[in-house]
Amino acid sequence: MNDNQIVRYSWGDQTLALSPSLVRDQVAKNQNVTAQECFDFIALCKAQHLNPFIREAYLVKYGSNPATMIVGKDVFTKRAEADPDYDGMDAGVTVITPNGELVRRDGSMVLQGEALVGGWCRVHKKNRSHPYFEEVSLAEYMGKKKDGSPSGQWARMPGTMIRKVALVHALREAFPDRLQGLYDSSEMGIDQANLPSDVIEVEAEITQRVTGSQETEPTGTTDENTWEPPEDDAEPEYVSDGEEF
């Protein structure tokens, strides 16, 4: 797949067009992003009908590390709520009280003297007698600086962050068809506060690229006009290190 190949796919009642150069220049805004990383990102957006122009999906790369693909914080809850079988969820934090008792509390509040150790979530579905339950460890997911201290929002709001990790884990398990291959910034070591929130204005860019580019297919494919991503469900490779509903 070359830099000017266009991939079109439906998003609601609209058709979106992505190319590696558009992803690199407008979405990631990082010239170090490789062609393969652009390919993986476009394949994910097409398979899951994500719109990166309104920040439903991000491609983040630091230095020479592999790029990380994450989705916007509202994608998980919106897709769960759109499922007719969704029947609500409960989520909170897991703490150890001063007397040594392990407590699961709704919400993200941690009282003075308590030790925050994790987050939990239950997702209810109308077609299941038992909810999906997920509990995650703070030690496993807390984002840290090089000196070992908590970084970014993990330092400011650790309860909110670990609750969010548990929530997206449980939603992904409960709705694999809607959320397969999607990861949140809180799981992937990315500080949500550092991600752009502005809408990408690309109409002129897309028009220019479409009229000035050929929709050629990569070597080895047989489709006459439009390249299609592979149909296998292999997930791209992600990096880890560690955000807010």
Per-residue pLDDT tens for 162-208?
Answer: 999 999 999 999 999 999 889 999 898 787 777 777 777 765 444 44
**pTM assigned to the model:** 0.75
Q: Tell me which DSSP letter residue 8 carries.
A: E
CA distance 161 to 93: 10
Residue 168's CB is within 10 A of a number of other CB atoms, namely 28
For 9-131, where are the alpha helices, taking DSSP H only? 20-22, 35-48, 75-81
pLDDT at 225: 36
Q: Is the pLDDT of residue 137 over 80?
A: yes
Exposure string for 177-215, b = 16+ CB within 10 A, e = fewer: ebbebbbbbbbbbbbbeeeeeeebebeebbeebeeebeb
CA torsion angle 147 150 153 155 (round to 10): -120
